[in-house]
Structure 1
Amino acid sequence: MDERLEIIDFSQANEVISFTLLLFLIVFIRYVIVSAIFFGVFYRLGGQKFATRKISTGTWKKGQFKKEIFYSALTSFVFALSGVGMLWAWQAGKTTIYTELSTYGYWYLPVSLVIALFVHETYYYWAHRLMHLPGLFKAVHKTHHESLISSPWTAFSFHPWESLLQAIIVPLIVWFLPMHIYVILAMLVIMTVSAVVNHLDIEVFPENFDEHWLGKWLIGATHHSLHHSEFTTNYGLYFTFWDKWMNTESGKYEKLFREKTSKKTSVAAHQ
């Protein structure tokens, strides 16, 4: 076994507890830093500049941010437990995680990342559809949708049951898809930044991006804000393809995106 896999001794409870708490702090602090940066740039420093790109017209609920941060802390702990479980599986040789960059060739690094994101997208889309079933929505997904107007702090605001559904996907992926440890870390960063951008409620993509060969397949704030307001549309996570294929993309999306990103709208608002 590669000695670099021997990070902690799972027979020692104090090591397991300490590492779990360390992972919790890393995940939670990462969430706080990314959310704070986007909130500061788009709402505090550039509030007027980005006003025309604000998607929802209402205001946040009283105490919404505190509630979102509380649930995000719980989510971070669940994610930490998932990370510890994945580390145990890695040390036991039960995953396909590898550490040598040249093992599958450098070309495979971005390829494995793209494959993992597509697998995650497929898993999330159908899990998300499932969470909207009447019998599951209240118990699993209602907490997240209580943020009718989302914010950067909404990114990790899930009920623990939903957090668990979100947490198991990466361990499942590395069970069958070889991934370098750096690629896994890159994916975790993408997951965090994407979640914050999608819940920003301010569109960051440029004008006409929805017509670009790549842009039309990527999800941003306009796309996901419509999910929070309509509930039964726009279930995707990173990409729009499942929503397009399953006819669940909001009919309002293209018009709203173009309205929020139009330079003419921005110029008129500042005259």
Structure 2
Amino acid sequence: MIQINGPASFWLTALFFFIAIFGRYVLFSFLFWWLFKVSMKDQFAHRAVQTRPRKPGQDRREIGWSVLTSLIFTAIALGVILAYQEGYTLIYTDLAAHATLWYPISILLVLFIHETYYYWLHRWMHRPGVYRWVHKTHHDSITTSPWTAFSFHPIESTLQAIVIPILTFVLPLHISAVGILLLIMTFSSAINHLNTEIYPRDFDRHWLGRWLIGATHHGLHHSQFRFNFGLYFTFWDKWMKTESPDFHMLFEEKTRKADRMKSLK
């Protein structure tokens, strides 16, 4: 675990975390953009969720907001490190400190808590009096791309960022488990905002796939606003009846059409 000792160490650590956080966003966003929009463009051309063109300058605006988001994430990460040094968090570095089974359980538990927190936060952010000030920045991207993944108003960035740090004060989490959770978050967000359905046909009805959010599921949220509020998983949308009635039809349309076009080549 990184130690902060003095002002110079503080600013070097801040720079390190900003590069790591913003760099992770750039790496995943560029990777998914290049892979599915450039390298395999022909195979995935018919899987675009939204066909309307993106707004002029949208990439630039999204990256700009993402810089602010990364700065906020960096500030919160520094706070967690300082709290860890003072012994306030339950982050641990010795795998033997807790039962081996706790490691995967802790990751699954945090994902469930994070999903629950985000689902209800997301619904709250769509309230008319809140949406304009907190969530509209993200929804300015109706046709999304991987660059949309971190494009949030600073208030929303802060609200999104605090849940995992707070959990480090109440749940024992190995430092590598925290890293895995952050990678899952970035990976999932890039997939969900890709605007290209990468999952195979009928995956939306698969025993696993029916619980995972992808580009079609989240793309409908950006175009319909009233449905699909989940982050990683669909279970809260299913339980609360907020899953779009168009989801399975659109998923089938995109994947079936793509398979049909592939078979004609």
Which residue of 1 is the match for residue 259 of structure 2? 266
Alignment of 1:153-164 (within 5 A): 153-164=147-158
Distance 1:202 1:268 in 2: 16
Which residue of 2 is the match for residue 115 of structure 1? 109
Work out the number of aligned pairs and report it.
264
Distance 2:202 2:99 in 1: 36
Q: Is the 8 A contact 1:52 1:269 kept in 2?
A: no
Residue 131 of structure 1 pairs with residue 131 of structure 2:
no
Paired AA for residue 57 in structure 1 = T
Structure 2 residue ranges without an equivalent (≥5): none
- The CA deviation at 1:223 is 0.4
Q: Identity over aligned residues, as a percent?
A: 48
TM norm structure 2: 0.96
- 1:80 pairs with one of 66, 74, 89: 74
Alignment of 1:156-175 (within 5 A): 156-175=150-169
Q: Is the 8 A contact 1:52 1:266 kept in 2?
A: no
Q: Deviations over 1:102-126 (max 9, x none)?
A: 2212222111100000000001001
Q: State the Cα RMSD in Å.
A: 1.3
Structure 1 residue ranges without an equivalent (≥5): none
Give the 3-state SS of the residue equivalent to 1:109 in structure 2: helix
- The CA deviation at 1:15 is 2.2
Q: Deviations over 1:129-162 (max 9, x none)?
A: 1111111111111100000100000000001111
Paired AA for residue 83 in structure 2 = A
Distance 2:137 2:12 in 1: 29
Which residue of 2 is the match for residue 61 of structure 1? 55
Q: Is the 8 A contact 2:33 2:146 kept in 1?
A: yes
Which residue of 2 is the match for residue 141 of structure 1? 135
Distance 2:129 2:261 in 1: 47
- The CA deviation at 1:6 is 6.4
Runs of 4+ in 1 over 6 A off after TM superposition: none
TM norm structure 1: 0.94
Q: Deviations over 1:138-188 (max 9, x none)?
A: 111110000010000000000111110011011111111111000000000
- The CA deviation at 1:89 is 1.2
Distance 2:198 2:87 in 1: 42
Which residue of 2 is the match for residue 239 of structure 1? 233
Paired AA for residue 131 in structure 2 = F
